[in-house]
Chain A
Amino acid sequence: MKYILKRIVFFLITLWAAVTINFILPRMMPGNPAEVMIAKFQGRLNPQAISALEIAFGINTHESMLAQYWDYLGRMVTGNFGISVSFYPTTVAQVLAQAVPWTLGLAGISTVIAFILGTLLGIRVSWKRNSISSSFAVPIAFFLNSMPYFWFALIVEYVFAFVFGWFPLGGAYSSSSGLSGLALVWSVLYHAILPAATIIITAMGGWMLTMRNNMISVLSDDYITFAFAQGLPEREIEMNYAARNAILPSFTGFAMAIGFVISGVLLTEIVFSYPGVGYLLYQAVLNIDYPLMQAIFLFITIAVLVANFIADIVYVFLDPRARSGGE
Chain B
Amino acid sequence: MDALLKVKDLNAGYEFTNFKTWAVRNVSFELNKGEFLGIAGESGCGKSTLAFGVIRLLMPPGKIFSGSIEFNGIDLMKVDDESLRKMRWKEFSMVFQASMNVLNPVLKVRTQIYNSIKYHVNMTESELDKRAKELLNLVNVSSKYLDAYPHQLSGGMKQRVVIAMALALNPKLVIMDEPTTALDVVVQRRILQEVDELRKQLGFAIIFITHDLSLLVEISDSLAIMYAGQIIEKAPSEKLYAKPLHPYTYGLMHAFPPLVGKRQKLHGIAGRPPDLSSDIKGCPFYPRCEKRINGVCDVENPKLVEIESEHFVACHLYDGK
Contact = CB atoms under 8 A, between A and B. Distances in A.
Interface string A218-237: 00011101111111110010
Q: Name the interface size band of chain B.
A: 20 to 34
Contacts of A223: 101-105
A317 to B, nearest CB: 10
A236 B120 contact: no
Interface in A227-250: 227-233, 236, 240-241, 244-245
Contacts of A222: 96, 98, 101-102
A320 B89 CA distance: 27
Interface string B92-111: 01101010011111111000
B160 interface: no
A221 B98 CA distance: 10
Given A229-B89, A232-B115, A321 B105 contact: yes
A318 interface: yes
Contacts of B105: 223, 245, 319-321
A255 B115 CA distance: 31
Given A225-B57, A236-B119, A240-B107, A231 B149 contact: no
Nearest to A321: B151
B280 interface: no
Among B94, B106, B152, chain A packs the most CB atoms within 10 A around the CB of B106
A231 B57 CA distance: 10
A135 to B, nearest CB: 15
A231 B104 contact: no
A244 B115 CA distance: 15
A319 B107 CA distance: 9
Interface in B106-140: 106-108, 115-116, 119-120
Nearest to B81: A234
Contact of B93 (A221, A229, A319): A229
Contacts of B106: 244-245, 318-320
Given A221-B101, A320-B149, A321-B105, A230 B93 contact: yes
B55 A231 contact: no
Contact of B116 (A221, A230, A233, A240): A230
Interface in B258-288: none
Contacts of B84: 231
Nearest to B103: A223
A231 B119 contact: yes
A229 B55 contact: yes
Interface in A279-327: 318-321, 324
A295 B89 CA distance: 62
User: Across chains A and B, which 9 residue pairs bring their CB atoms closest together, nearest first?
Assistant: A231-B88, A226-B102, A320-B149, A222-B101, A231-B85, A230-B116, A222-B102, A229-B94, A223-B104
Given A229-B93, A320-B108, 8 more contacts: A226-B102, A229-B89, A232-B115, A236-B115, A236-B119, A244-B104, A245-B104, A320-B149
Interface of A: 221-223, 225-233, 236, 240-241, 244-245, 318-321, 324
